[in-house]
Every structure is written in structure tokens, then in C-alpha cells.
Structure 1
């Protein structure tokens, strides 16, 4: 399982995957539960990159 912690590290990963998404867009997707994420603590976000990869694949297929 590959996990990154925090929005900035997620955005760096998405940029490396050649997907340009703004922080605000990701925040809105998280709020509507449309983006895979974990909240191990109240104010912390974690992202399983395997799940993020599946989300990216779904977005490119649309």
C-alpha cells in the first residue's frame, strides 16, 4: 500500500502523473466523497495512491 499524507504531497503526485488539478477542486471532491481519501485524525488527510490511480484511470476514461 502506497500512502501519502497531506494535500501538497497528493498534488505533487498528481502533477507527476500529468494530471493538473487545483487544491480547491480536490477539496470539493473530498467534501462530496468523490475522491478516495482517509482521515486518520480529525484534521489530517491521507491518500492511498493505489486508489488514487484507479480514480485517475476513471477520469481519463470519461
Structure 2
């Protein structure tokens, strides 16, 4: 399983695959419930990169 922790790491991953999304946009998508993620505790965000790729329509 490919995971990253935090919006900054997700933003860096998205930039590396040619789909730049800013941290502020990621937080907006989180508030709207539009981006797949796990929140094991209030201050921790985990993003499964396979789920993100699927969400983007890459895989």
C-alpha cells in the first residue's frame, strides 16, 4: 500500500505526476468530503496514493 501523510506530501506527490493541486485546495476538498483519505486522529491525515490515482482517473 502506498500512503503519504499530510496535505503537503500529497501536494508534492500530485505535482510529481503532473497534476498540481495546492495544499489549500486539498483542505477545501477534505472539508467537502470529495477526496479519499483516512483520519486516524484529529491532526493526522493519511492518503492512499492508489485511491488518489483512482480518484483522479489515472488507474
Q: Which residue of structure 1 lines up, in the alignment, with residue 31 of structure 2?
A: 31
Gaps of 5+ in 2: none
TM-score by length of 2: 0.89
Q: Deviations over 1:5-59 (max 9, x none)?
A: 111111111011101111111111111110011101111100000100011117x
User: Which has a greater percent of helix?
Assistant: 1
The DSSP-based 3-state class of the residue aligned with 1:47 is: strand
User: Which has a greater percent of strand?
Assistant: 2
Q: Distance in 1 between matches of 2:9 and 2:19?
A: 14
Q: Distance in 1 between matches of 2:31 and 2:38?
A: 12
Q: Distance in 2 between matches of 1:42 and 1:21?
A: 22
Q: Runs of 4+ in structure 1 displaced over 6 angstroms?
A: none
Q: Distance in 1 between matches of 2:17 and 2:55?
A: 12
